[in-house]
Amino acid sequence: MSNTPDRTRVRLADISSRAYEHPADRGALVALRSLRGFDEVFKRLSGLFNERALRLMYLSSSVRVSERQFPDVYDYVRDAAYVLDLDEVPELYIQLNPQPNAMAIGSNKPFIVMTTGLFDLLTAEEQRFVVGHEVGHILSGHAVYRTMLLALIRLATRVAWIPLGYIGLRAIVTALEEWYRKSELSCDRAGLLAGQDPDAAKRALMKLAGGSRLAEMNSDAFLEQAAEYDRGGDARDSLLKLLNLMGHTHPFAVVRLAELDRWVKDGSYQRILNGDYPRRDTDGNTSIAEEARNAANSYRESWERTSDPLFGTLRDVAGSAASAGGKLFDSVAHRVRNAGRGQDGSGT
């Protein structure tokens, strides 16, 4: 349990999700949201994954938290929505399932599902971190895109017998999976901002790797594991690490803890608590090109930190990608703006 009382938790009024989003996650979202009507098309396509049917399924087979059912967890959802200044408190369902998991799903009115396997694994403050993580997904709009990713994965399996169709869909799914892994790093930060207990966040991530016997684990040793994994061995190990990620929407636990620990140590977490963060009323001023460059630069910086022999060869490539990515998104934005003027006669 944390010794941090609720009254010391800082509310982050009008915080933009850009404050905690990983650059690769944020760059993709800014580019997608800038396309005229894209979100609406995306929501319509996500109807393939029927939100109404999903909600009815969980309503009939799980327990919806409230003041009378799992009241502590209900408080965590309300607190996370309050701290992150979410307009509406999302529903949360506890589902009987021994597999530790939590997710935010839906498009029009996203909701959260937490399995009993995860609920029973975590202490109160660790649960608060997980709930904040899922609220972060909702604030960032990830639930809409995750719903579409799941629909595309199902579609890819159905057309696997069509070689070219499957290859094309698999490429899209692989790109979305890479984006989603970065979105998980984003929402680990959101979970920490909601709970404001770094030790609880670390414990939760360690438990996702090693289970409930926390007394047998050590955060420093776990970070050493992360460093060893990052170093790898030779090029064969580098290739195996890439292959191991295929089909995974979540980064491995050692990577998540190392990334969150780095974010805390570089001062980003404390700056946000001190009130130094972007507000939502500035979201419309974001530059697609700048976010694309930030995304490419974030990859380059991670490769500069790593000792992995394969990723080390990609450092110069990332620099070129940063410039090319910015030009590409500038071009797309220009075309979209011109198309908008042609349709409605508006524009400056």
Q: Using CA atoms, how far apart are residues 100 and 210, in angstroms rounded to an integer?
A: 12
Q: Is the dihedral of CA 169, 133, 131, 117 positive or negative?
A: positive
Reported pTM: 0.75
Asked if the model's pLDDT at residue 263 lies above 50, the reply is yes
Coil, strand or helix at 91:
coil
Asked if the model's pLDDT at residue 302 lies above 60, the reply is no
194-208 confidence digits (pLDDT tens): 999 999 999 999 999
Which of 122, 138, 54 lies closest to 93, judged by CA?
54
Q: What secondary structure letter does DSSP report for 48?
A: G
pLDDT at 326: 43
Report residue 325's pLDDT band, with 50, 70 and 90 as the boundaries. Answer: very low
Report residue 94's pLDDT band, with 50, 70 and 90 as the boundaries. Answer: very high
Q: Which residues are catalytic?
A: 134
Mean predicted lDDT score pLDDT of the chain: 77
107-155 confidence digits (pLDDT tens): 778 999 999 999 999 999 999 999 999 999 999 888 777 666 666 666 6
Nearby residues of 299 by Cβ (< 8 Å), 6 or more positions away:
24, 314, 318, 321
Asked if the model's pLDDT at residue 187 lies above 70, the reply is yes
10-57 confidence digits (pLDDT tens): 999 999 999 999 887 776 666 655 555 555 555 555 555 567 788 899
Q: List the single range of 79-93, 167-181, 212-226 with lowest mean pLDDT.
A: 167-181
